[in-house]
Amino acid sequence: MSAPVLRLVDIHKRFGDNEVLRGVSLDVHDGEVIAIIGASGSGKSTLLRCVNLLERPSAGSIVFQGEAVDYRARPGLLGGDRALSALRTRIGMVFQSYNLWPHKTVLENVVEAPIHVRGEARAVAVERAEALLARIGLAEKRHDHPSRLSGGQQQRVAIVRALAMEPKVMLFDEVTSALDPELVGEVLALMASLAAEGMTMLVVTHEMDFAREVSHRAVFIDEGRVVEDGDSDTVIGAPTHPRTRQFLDRVLRRHHAVGASPGILDVAHRARARPDE
């Protein structure tokens, strides 16, 4: 197998006395889709945020595309840090709360970073943005402000905003958790189609169907450690570690109690089938 796109080696993160990550190692290969699952507070978000240095790890090393990431460097007075910026342009991130910028239109949200970070000509950025918006069926909404869009539409725009930077890896942090159940499917479908195209993805999620069906690999995190890491069917379908079993029992029971939204699995199946067509 080729060298990993991203290597996390023994990552630790402490907030004061609270050690949230206690030595996490993870190799992420090109085109791999990894679901990161675990209980609330286990450190999943912190792990993702360490990858693009929204959090500075306390110890450990990050190697991205063969280069060690120097996360110890302090940014200058005005925060200008080219290496950090370059890393972040190659790693897209999507948040639970969309975080679109409300004072900008949908199109402006998408072209902002290509123009002002990558220095792209406006026409070029707009062309790519419009193609991406067309792909998610929101081309007509491009001059609307985000507040006019549904949660699902906003989240898909947020995904497209990250894609506009043509990232190598995408990080998703519970991107469907804030959505009304009927809007979850459209976002998962978009993610599944990205996965099918070969995007490398780290996906923190509570959607076990998605984790199982779309991702190749699942990583179960418990109290800041990787407890189980393997083929997603195995980790979710037949976990070996008691903590994993416990967690999945709880999640799946709640899931069935609420009533699984039937659309999600179908959508994921269809997306997964796409490359074989």
Partner 1 sequence: MSETVTRLVAYWESIASYMPGFLDASWLAFEITLLVIAVSWGCGLLAALGKLSRLRVLRWPATFYVWFIRGTPTLVQVFLFYFGLPQTGLRLSPFVAGVLALGINSGAYVAEIVRGGLAAMPRGQMESALALGMSPALAMRRIILPQVVRMIIPPITNEAASALKNTSLLSTITLVELTLHSQLVIAATYRPFDFYLIAAVLYLLMTTVLTQLAAWFERRFRLDH
* Residues at the interface with Mg ion (CB under 5 A): 45
59-64 and 33-37: which strand pairing? unpaired
Residue keyed to tokens 């790519």: 128
Q: Is 101 in the site for partner 1 (CB under 8 A)?
A: yes
Residue keyed to tokens 């039937």: 262
Rounded Cα distance, 255 and 247, in Å: 12
Question: By Cβ distance, which residue is nearest to Mg ion?
Answer: 45
Instruction: Give, as ranges, the residues between 103 and 162 that touch ligand ATP (CB under 6 A).
Output: none
- Please identify which residue in 2, 18, 40, 147 interacts with partner 1, judged by CB under 8 A: 147
Q: Is 69 in the site for partner 1 (CB under 8 A)?
A: no
Residues 119, 125, 128: CA angle, nearest 5 degrees? 145
Rounded Cα distance, 38 and 43, in Å: 8
Rounded Cα distance, 129 and 126, in Å: 5
- Please identify which residue in 44, 141, 142, 217 interacts with ligand ATP, judged by CB under 6 A: 44
CB of 24 within 8 A of CB of 47?
yes
Give how many residues touch ligand ATP by CB under 6 A: 11
Residue 46 interaction partner, one of Mg ion, partner 1, ligand ATP, none, beta carbon < 5-8 Å per kind: ligand ATP
Q: Is 112 in the site for partner 1 (CB under 8 A)?
A: yes
In this chain, which stretch among 17-25, 92-100, 127-135, 200-208 interacts with partner 1, using CB under 8 A? 92-100
Q: Is 65 in the site for partner 1 (CB under 8 A)?
A: no
Q: Is 43 in the site for ligand ATP (CB under 6 A)?
A: yes
Rounded Cα distance, 148 and 8, in Å: 39
- Please identify which residue in 5, 24, 33, 45 interacts with ligand ATP, judged by CB under 6 A: 45
CA 4 to chain centre: 17
In this chain, which stretch among 29-37, 38-46, 79-87, 182-190 interacts with partner 1, using CB under 8 A? 79-87
**Closest of 256, 222, 254, 224 to residue 239, by C-alpha:** 222
Q: What angle do helix axes 106-116 and 151-163 make, rounded to 10 degrees?
A: 20
Interface residues with ligand ATP (CB under 6 A)?
Answer: 15, 18, 20, 38, 40-46
Residues at the interface with partner 1 (CB under 8 A) = 52, 54, 75, 77-81, 85-86, 88-89, 91-93, 95, 97, 99-103, 112-113, 116-118, 145-148, 158, 161-162, 165
